[in-house]
């Protein structure tokens, strides 16, 4: 499993994504960040890893660069970054598909959780390395 390689999720701006300013609402960008992370995890992580833990967000940081509009094709590009203590960092770029212009950039801290207890999970070192570039510890 190479969770370090960038993963791309194709999306399309739908009518419900548009706000009163006639462009994509900021909250939708955040939803795309989460959808990309979940799609990356479910695509790349083996079933036993998916059964052993789930992830919750501890922090989002997002910078908005350009608007997106109804019908735009979107690419949510995400990749694993350094571990931050017990949290695991993930970066995401939201790009316009036709020219790959950067629309938003996000940094999210995810926490592994034990599905049996609902409490934070400690990852074995091998698993921790799969979810971190290791440069931030």
Picking from 1, 4, 2, the residue whose alpha carbon sits closest to that of residue 133 is 4
pTM > 0.95: yes or no:
no
7-130: CATH number: 3.10.129.10
Q: Encode pLDDT of 42-74 as tens digits.
A: 998 889 888 999 999 999 999 999 999 999 999
3 state DSSP class of 49: helix
CB 82 within 8 A of CB 134: yes
Q: How many CB atoms are located within 10 Å of the residue 126 CB?
A: 7
The two three-digit tokens of residue 92, written as one number = 């995401």
In the chain, where the domains are located: 7-130
Ramachandran assignment for 127, one of left (phi > 0), alpha (psi -120 to 50 degrees), beta (any other): alpha
Q: How confident is the model over 75-114, as pLDDT tens digits?
A: 999 999 888 888 999 999 999 999 999 999 999 999 999 9
């Amino acid at each position: 499993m190479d969770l370090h390689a960038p993963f791309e999720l194709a999306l399309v701006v739908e009518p419900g994504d548009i706000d009163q300013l006639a462009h994509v609402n900021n909250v939708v960008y955040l939803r795309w960040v989460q959808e990309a992370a979940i799609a990356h995890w479910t695509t790349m992580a083996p079933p036993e890893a998916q059964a052993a833990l789930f992830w919750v967000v501890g922090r989002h940081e997002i910078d908005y660069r350009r608007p997106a509009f109804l019908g735009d094709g979107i690419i949510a590009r995400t990749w694993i970054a350094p571990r931050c203590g017990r949290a695991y960092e993930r970066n995401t770029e939201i790009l316009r598909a036709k020219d790959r212009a950067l629309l938003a950039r996000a940094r999210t801290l995810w926490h592994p959780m034990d599905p049996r207890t609902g409490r934070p999970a400690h990852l074995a070192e091998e698993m921790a390395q799969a979810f971190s570039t290791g440069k931030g510890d």
